[in-house]
Amino acid sequence: MTIVAETRQLARSFASPDGGEIHVLRGIDLEIRGGESIAIVGPSGSGKSTLLHLLGALDRPTSGEVWLGGRRVGDLGDEAVGELRNGFVGFVFQFHHLLRDFTALENVMIPQLVAGVARDSARDRGLDLLDQVGLTPRRNHRPRKLSGGEQQRVAVARALANDPPLLLADEPSGNLDVEASARLHDLLFELLDRHGTALVVVTHSRELAARAGTVMRLEAGTLAVT
């Protein structure tokens, strides 16, 4: 399978209040291949979200490299990184981050419009994805009119809007009850199988981690297969 993303000796540190450095990630090497699923587990504060942000080019490493689709992110300017991120990576967060003044359909259309897709095509794609997540009857509802589980399903549809090779999910069911979490997990893996998308998911959920093809643990700045 093709490598869709990888990190090489990835490190990230932050300044500490006493003027020193906090080393969150230390020399992370990771390969993500098309269609595979990886769950990253570990204690709170171990840097799981930091790693996800670096993989998705939302942050820059202190040292080391991130490659997306064969392109080294560090070689790209901010505009090129934004274009690569929008077309190549889909994000699902614990708190869905839907735009509250836009309908479910409009939220799914926006990444496509940013990518230059014609409005009619973006609408057709949005309707198809909302149908896949079972939300066609709710397509014209704004987020405040949707349940938490419905909002996360919209977020999943939005993340897949540009058919990205890589989906990054940060505690996607962490804000849902047990029943809604189970439905979201079923939906997520069904859609990934259908679209052939690679998944890296950060989670504290044993049930979600168990469904991934590979489980890795991040602790003390290092990443290893469990």
User: What confidence tens digit (pLDDT) does each residue in 31-51 have?
Assistant: 999 999 999 999 888 889 999
Q: What is the CATH number of domain 36-46+77-225?
A: 3.40.50.300
41 vs 20: CA distance, rounded Å? 27
Helix (H, G, I), strand (E, B) or coil at 52: helix
**Model confidence over 158-181: pLDDT tens digits?**
999 998 999 999 988 877 778 878
Q: Which of 115, 116, 118, 135 is nearest to 127 (CA)?
A: 135
Indicate if the pLDDT at residue 18 is higher than 90: no
Domain locations along the chain = 36-46+77-225
- Give the relative orientation of helices 178-195 and 148-159 as an angle to the nearest 10 degrees: 20
**Model confidence over 116-152: pLDDT tens digits?**
999 999 999 999 999 988 899 999 999 999 988 899 8
pLDDT, averaged across the chain? 90
**Model confidence over 187-207: pLDDT tens digits?**
888 888 888 899 999 998 888
Determine what percent of the chain falls in helix, strand and coil, rounding each to the nearest 5: 40, 30, 30
